[in-house]
Amino acid sequence: MPQNTEQTSNKFWLPLAFAFVLILGILLGIKLQKEVPVVPEQEGDSQVAIKPGKIEELLRYIEARYVDEVDRDELIQKAIDNLLKELDPHSTYIPSDQLKRINEQLDGNFEGIGIEFLIVEDTIVVIKPTENGPSDKAGIIAGDKIVSVGDSLIVGDKLNETNIIDSLRGAQGTSVKIGIVREGNPQIQYFEVVRDQIPILSVDAAYMLNNTTGYIKINRFSSTTHTEFLRSLEKMIDEDGLKKVVIDVRDNPGGYLQEATSILNQFFKDKNKLLVYTEGLNVHRSDYETTGNSFFDIEDIAVLVDEGSASASEILAGAIQDYDRGIIVGRRTFGKGLVQEQYNLSDDSAIRLTVARYYTPSGRSIQRNYENLEDYDDEISKRLESGELYNGEQLASADTTRYYTKDGRVVYGGGGIIPDVFVPLDSSKTNPYFSHLQPFIRTFIYKYFQANKPKLDDAPSIFNYRNLEDFVNNFEISDQVLANFENSIDDEKLLIEAKSVTNIESLTKLYLKARLAKHLYDDNGLYAVLNAEDDVVKKAVQIMEMPNPTAVLEKEE
């Protein structure tokens, strides 16, 4: 995704985001509940608010009579955690100090000064201010070094990313004085920046893969995703002649169900076509259907998925698959088919409680079995050990019930969406030693870009390329630049271990080039470079170039 303001520039996504999915996989179908829920007091119609009962009594006895001093809040936290563990993996408690940050990801905005930054040699460097954001309006530019926020100096080897973000963010309308050192001027300049709403984009990239096929990367389904998606789609249709689209939801942990169904609406002309339905013991069935208000004529669709694609991502893929509207390419999805509602508590914390399951149009539940929570949390490791991520023949569904797509193909539930076309995991990209090189790549390329960019708009530069396509096709990282990068790494042990990774030199050159492309062409550049060597993307494009892409989908007799 784009480097959201007040966040570090950490955008080298890898399939290592499995743990992130486990944390954020709760995000499907959240409905905010401001009122305390009511429950039956006893059999009959009488309804009362939930009362404290035995747990509160027990806490009073402990506080009044226990031999040692206890921390009441800590006891309550542990009691809540253990209680929710008895339910399912996605019913969770969110402490008040975390709730705002988590809600910001779903709301699609936060309040701050609007910069993307990187820590380079113990200094905060502005990579890019948000266009028309507070910092941009105040006059802060890319390359500025932030040395103070308010009355506090923020330089040195003890810089903490979280603390930096907290100091830059604040209530909308409040102002903060930012001290800047700019290239060519050793004196500190001060800028008064008025904080405002800053968008957190959920569409990372949108660009054309070829003359007819566009690519859209969605990192989560927030409240602005449908709008972002439509803008990206419309732009490529009007300016580039898009007719087909590849939607990338790999490593997308989910989000609002309605945002996924709104996107799906653009691919179906018919009205009242079932896209997904939800149902639970205490929640009546809710059907989400097409409206018939699709704005564009999209011919073919490919959805890219992997083991990090969860909940709303699986709704999108499941509906496309069930109606044979397009092809699903990649690896089996996470398998999260539970719906949560959020209940805000009196101390500004919240619980997200699973209230229903969702089902694809064919009737599939894709939720994995969670009777053994330890096995559930260790699912990705199990897939690695079994060889499933490298061999499509190892794919197996826990649910042997047969469901049928519109064209009569057999599909299964009970453990994620199984892709129509399997593409194995590139193990070199998940190697921990290579992942540890990423911060060095970011810092090196920033310096490389600063040293080689034109100082004036009309000055010559090594980056004189007509456009992104020209750059992707013709720019290469030289052996000398690679050697310079290796010499810049001050961790000799890491470098030795990283060099044991298969194909490490070509992989490092690819990511150096991708990071440079980001400086030149934003995140479209980053993804364009990486996708040019991405087997999943290449397979999708290959199939989409066929006269009838869904012809590759064979019926199982």
Structure confidence at residue 194 as a pLDDT band (50, 70, 90): very high
pTM here is 0.88
Mean pLDDT of 376-396: 83
pLDDT for position 493: 86
pLDDT for position 500: 83
Instruction: Give catalytic residues, as residue numbers.
Output: 311, 322, 336
pLDDT for position 24: 43
CB 239: neighbour CB atoms within 10 A? Answer: 9
Q: Is the pLDDT of residue 421 over 90?
A: yes
Q: Is the pLDDT of residue 78 over 50?
A: yes
- Give domain limits for the chain: 109-199, 203-428+543-552, 429-539
Mean pLDDT of 357-377: 90
Dihedral sign computed on CA atoms, order 516, 518, 521, 526: positive
Q: Is the pLDDT of residue 484 over 90?
A: yes
Judge contact between 375 and 382, C-beta under 8 A.
Answer: yes
Mean pLDDT of 49-63: 78
| CA-wise closest residue to 441 among 528, 380, 519 | 519
Judge contact between 91 and 351, C-beta under 8 A.
Answer: yes
Q: Could you tell me the fold of the domain covering 109-199?
A: Pdz3 Domain (2.30.42)
| CA-wise closest residue to 32 among 358, 232, 258 | 258
Write the pLDDT tens digit of every residue in 497-523.
Answer: 888 888 889 999 999 999 999 999 999
Write the pLDDT tens digit of every residue in 320-343.
Answer: 999 999 999 999 999 999 999 999
More confident residue, 429 or 257: 257
DSSP helix, strand, coil percent of the chain (3-state; round to 5): 35, 25, 40
E-only strand ranges, 121-268: 123-129, 145-149, 152-153, 175-182, 185-194, 196-199, 203-208, 213-218, 244-248
CA distance 123 to 125: 6
479, two tokens? 């052996």
pLDDT for position 166: 85
39, two tokens? 């429950």
Q: Is the pLDDT of residue 266 over 80?
A: yes
Q: Is the pLDDT of residue 25 over 80?
A: no
Q: Could you tell me the fold of the domain covering 203-428+543-552?
A: 2-enoyl-CoA Hydratase; Chain A, domain 1 (3.90.226)
Which stretches of 479-503 are DSSP H helices? 479-488, 492-498
Q: Is the pLDDT of residue 537 over 60?
A: yes
Q: Is the pLDDT of residue 152 over 90?
A: no
Mean pLDDT of 469-482: 95
